Structure 1
Amino acid sequence: MIEGIRIGSPNGNNTMPSFAAAYSDEEIAAVSTYVIGHFGGKQGRVTPAMVGAARD
């Protein structure tokens, strides 16, 4: 979420933009935690400190 990603496929590129400039560490942590639980079917928690460390 911080850096974004581009994945190539035979039908073209799939891109997720970077959200680093648009969202705070707290917001990225909240969305990441939601995605892990809702779409990953796993328990886990991303903290703002983890996001801050990933930005560095």
Structure 2
Amino acid sequence: ENFWPPNALSGKGNPLSLAWTNWPLFTVGMVQRGLRDDDIRKILGENMLRVARAVLP
């Protein structure tokens, strides 16, 4: 089973689905798929924050 639908990167679909107001639904979906809390935090930007803190003054 794939995490992303087959056409996720095709440019087709509803651009509003990525709106920040839908992020709680993304989180719920990841929990329902059995992802661990640590993995969910990384997907939602924790890795980016870690790198930014490491390289920015």
TM-score (norm 2): 0.33
Q: Which of the pair is proportionally richer in strand?
A: 1
Q: Which of the pair is proportionally richer in helix?
A: 2
Which one scores higher on RCO, CA 8 angstroms, separation ≥ 6?
A: 1
TM-score (norm 1): 0.34
